[in-house]
Amino acid sequence: MVLFFRRIYAMILRHVYLFMCSWPRVLELIYWPFLNMVLWAYMSKFLSEYSNIFLMASGVLIACVIMWDTLFRGQLGVTLSFIEELWSRNLGNIAVSPLKPIELVLSLIVASFLRTLVGVGGAGIAAYFLFDFHLPLFGIGFILFFINLLIMGWALGLAICALLIRFGLSAETFAWAALFFIQPLCGVFYPVSVLPEWLQPFSLIIPATYIFEGMRLAFFDGVFGIDLLLKACLINIIYIFVGVSLLLFSYSHAKRNGLLLGNGE
Amino acid sequence: MKVTQNINLSSNIDVSVKNVYKNFGDIKAVFDISFSVEKSKTLGLLGSNGAGKTTTIMMLMGILKATSGEIKILDQDVYKYRNKIAKEINFSSPFVELPHRLTVLQNLNVFGHLYGVKSLADKIHKLSMDLDILDLLKRRVGKLSAGQKTRVSLAKSLINDPKILFLDEPTASLDPDHADWIRTYLEQYQDRTGATFILASHNMPEVERLCHNVIMMGRGKVIESGTPKNLISRYKSTDLEEVFLQLARNDKV
């Protein structure tokens, strides 16, 4: 058991070292979430001068963007941590080592959590000091919203890692683009009800939809949507199960087909 | 019920391969190969590009599944006991690199933890002394010369005191002086620790010097095997390179 944790620790250490050696990577972590937050904060300020809705729920756009970044950075954290091994042609060394595939999965998740904490946490703190931004005080409820977004990001990130193992770096585009494909569907900045009716059922199978709806409910009506949280949790259980399974399956496929030593472009 | 089985250290055979096949779709990459490697010996895998050497090494390390056949490492099935075996083997190849942005010390730390090495700091210090990389510990791997990278890669591959070490062209792209240094180090390491080496190389003088036994592969099959001396005399040649060329020109390897 000690070795199990030590191997995961080794993989986390690898990413911590990488960030210690590369300040541009640290800046990149903080830069985009911060920039996004500032942009939407000023947009929110502008809109609140003309719209009662934004005046009533000041900060809703900042919350939207911070929560979206939690989801995006969660996914990107998993995928980029894995892509680093492909970029550095190190996957062969890792495959030969005693690290088990499930330990690789756990290490990617922890690495993603730390990346997201630095990136989005930084933007959240900046929003607090620069724009007097506060999340509605629902105690642990809102933390669970964030955790659900992270889990969905991890699930998607692991699925993309499965593609990277299968197709090498030619699948890298998915790391950056996949989540933006579902962004219009999960109602980050608007309620799902504005979507065409035929599109709305697709929204309902995305856990983030319920989280963003729940967030708006909290801001506009001051109500914590526990039912929305539960729905997100239930779908997320399926998502994370599928994400982990896809990566393990892809790893096993790579073992049958010799993709672990020569993975690259 | 969880099956546990200790690694058998009493057997004299460290690697046993029986009737192993590996197909990639219609392509027969490895075709019915069988061989064994005794403890503390070095086996050389020779053959032209695409002969099946790397495929064989990958199967021996348990990171590529054979289509059929049996591979035993340290007397255990390599796929069934892969996690246990992984702690006892290691691998060095100039074609699989260590993260360039990390320093040498950081890389050795990471792999030391991955392999569960005890007294890691002492181990890294000793390896650094042995391999003359003490001055490189704080330098990034990406900034090292080819010779320095090879020594660092070797340090990584010895971090867990492997019982079996897989070496894929360990002296590729090194100048004669550095290559000789590495070969001498490997000889001394084997004498000192009794480790078993599996070496894939195109460098025939290197194979003659390091290998106790040689397997020549061609089109996924074992087409010749024996000690380097034995093969040289059998083919009435002056060295192993001539043997290889004879086989290659007969379109066998």
pLDDT in tens, A148-186: 999 999 999 999 999 999 998 888 999 889 999 999 999
Tens of pLDDT, residue by residue over A24-37, are 888 988 999 999 89
DSSP chain B: ---------S-SEEEEEEEEEEEETTEEEEEEEEEEEETT-EEEEEESTTSSHHHHHHHHHTSS--SEEEEEETTEETTTTHHHHHTTEEEE-TTS---TTSBHHHHHHHHHHHTT-SSHHHHHHHHHHHTT-GGGTTSBGGGS-HHHHHHHHHHHHHTT--SEEEEESTTTT--HHHHHHHHHHHHHHHHHH--EEEEE-S-HHHHHHH-SEEEEEETTEEEEEE-HHHHHHHTT-SSHHHHHHHHHHTT--
Average pLDDT over residues B152-175: 93
Instruction: Indicate the average pLDDT of chain B.
Output: 91
Q: Inform me whether the pLDDT recorded for B11 exceeds 90.
A: no
Average pLDDT over residues A187-193: 91
Band of pLDDT at residue B252, cut at 50, 70 and 90: low
Q: Inform me whether the pLDDT recorded for A57 exceeds 70.
A: no
Average pLDDT over residues A89-110: 95
Average pLDDT over residues A234-258: 94
Average pLDDT over residues B156-172: 94
Residues of A with CB under 8 A from a CB of B: 3, 6-7, 9-11, 13-14, 17-18, 21-22, 84, 88-100, 255-258, 260-261
Average pLDDT over residues B137-147: 94
CB-based contact B113 A256, cutoff 8 Å: no
* Best B53, B63, B149 residue to mutate vs chain A (most A CBs within 10 Å): B63
Task: Collect contacts of A257-260 with beta carbons under 8 A, ≥24 apart.
Answer: A257/B24, A257/B64, A258/B24, A258/B55, A258/B58, A258/B64, A259/A165, A259/A166, A259/A168, A260/A91, A260/A92, A260/A95, A260/A165, A260/B58, A260/B63, A260/B64
Q: Inform me whether the pLDDT recorded for A76 exceeds 50.
A: yes
Band of pLDDT at residue B178, cut at 50, 70 and 90: confident
CB-based contact B103 A9, cutoff 8 Å: no
CB-based contact B64 A260, cutoff 8 Å: yes
Which domains occur in chain B, in start order?
A: 13-88+162-249 (3.40.50.300), 99-161 (no CATH)
Q: How far is B252 from chain A (nearest CA, A)?
A: 24
Identify the pLDDT of residue B234. 92
Comparing C-alpha atoms, which of A64, A247, A258 is closest to residue A171? Answer: A247
Identify the pLDDT of residue A243. 98
Identify the pLDDT of residue B197. 97
CB-based contact A6 B116, cutoff 8 Å: yes
H, E, C per residue of A53-110: HHHHCCCHHHHHHHHHHHHHHHHHHHHHHHHHHHHCCCHHHHHHCCCCHHHHHHHHHH
Q: How far is B30 from chain A (nearest CA, A)?
A: 13
Q: Inform me whether the pLDDT recorded for B161 exceeds 60.
A: yes
Q: Inform me whether the pLDDT recorded for B3 exceeds 60.
A: no
Tens of pLDDT, residue by residue over B37-77, are 999 999 999 998 888 998 999 999 999 999 999 999 999 99
Identify the pLDDT of residue B21. 96
Average pLDDT over residues B145-158: 93
Identify the pLDDT of residue A257. 83
Q: How far is A116 from chain B (nearest CA, A)?
A: 22
Q: Select from A3, A96, A100 the Cβ nearest to the Cβ of B61.
A: A96
pTM: 0.90
Q: Inform me whether the pLDDT recorded for A46 exceeds 60.
A: yes
Q: Select from B55, B97, B114 the Cβ nearest to the Cβ of A88.
A: B97
Q: Inform me whether the pLDDT recorded for B199 exceeds 90.
A: yes
Instruction: Indicate the average pLDDT of chain A.
Output: 90
Average pLDDT over residues B185-190: 95
